[in-house]
Amino acid sequence: MKILVACEFSGVVREAFAAKGHDAWSCDLLPTEISGKHIQGDVRKIINDPWDMILAFPECRYLSDAGNRWFKTVPPLPQNRLELRFKAIDFFLMFTETHCRKVCIENPKGIMNTIYKKPTQIICPTMFGHKEAKRTCLWLQGLPPLLPTEARQIPVVRKLKSGRPFNPWYSCTGNPKLRPIIRSRTFPGIAEAMANQWG
């Protein structure tokens, strides 16, 4: 199949499908971290090309529940956040309107769960051999839900003095700007399950 992995710079999902013999391409504004077939640019320019499958990982900064605190401030919102949220919603919905028959859209729990629809399934890396906790929503079109590949692992989660959960796998970096990049990478176990079960 000719597969587009949209909004992926890590190359993890792309290479999992390429290892199965598929013509897999990733596309992102950032360069790829792993050498392979990568288009650095705006995915909207190629979204309507004849793809057999599209796996989309749109940025969640303005969509996830984690950023809702910014919308509780007194207007005006910082950095035109409401406008950025509307743009992020439109970008997400673009992947639901393609002519491709097989589509997966990945995002954490957020506003799309209500203004679009509930996800097809919610997965966690612990279902695919990892100990990291990261609840992830999948909206699927023409694809079956992913089946767990390993017995559920016990997630490694710590708590701060305030009692707030602390995920060491992405919080351990000393640079807060790197955390979104670390969190955006798909876990290899999930990528392999996608390739094995959908490829």
Classify residue 169: in a domain, yes or no. no
For residue 180, being part of any structural domain is answered with no
Count up the domains in the chain and report the number: 1
Taking only the tens place, the pLDDT of each residue in 156-173 is: 666 667 776 666 655 555
Beta bridge partners of 54: 4, 103
User: Strands (DSSP E) along 36-185, which ranges?
Assistant: 38-40, 53-56, 103-107, 121-123, 136-141, 158-159, 165-166
Structural domain for 114, as ranges: 2-153+187-198
Of the pLDDT bands very low, low, confident and very high (cuts 50, 70, 90), residue 24 is very high
Whether 50 is in a domain gets the answer: yes
Specify burial of residue 178 (Cβ count, 10 A radius: 0-12, 13-18, 19+). Answer: exposed
CA–CA distances in Å: residue 49 to residues 27, 44, 98, 162: 13, 10, 10, 49
The residue count of the chain comes to 199
pTM of this structure: 0.85
Question: What are the distances in angstroms from CA 162 to CA 42, 81, 158?
Answer: 41, 27, 11
Q: Looking at the predicted structure, is the pLDDT value of residue 19 above 90?
A: yes
Cα–chain center distance at 11: 13
Residue 160 lies in a domain: no
45 falls within a domain = yes
166 is a domain residue = no
Query: To the nearest whole percent, how much of the chain has pLDDT over 90?
Result: 64
Burial of 125 (0-12, 13-18, 19+ CB in 10 A): buried
The answer for residues whose C-beta is within 8 angstroms of residue 46's C-beta and 6 or more apart is 4, 27, 39
Q: Residue 94 belongs to a domain with what CATH number?
A: 3.40.50.150
**Within a domain: 24:** yes
Q: Has residue 163 been placed in a domain? A: no
Structure confidence by residue, pLDDT tens digits, 146-158: 999 987 666 666 6
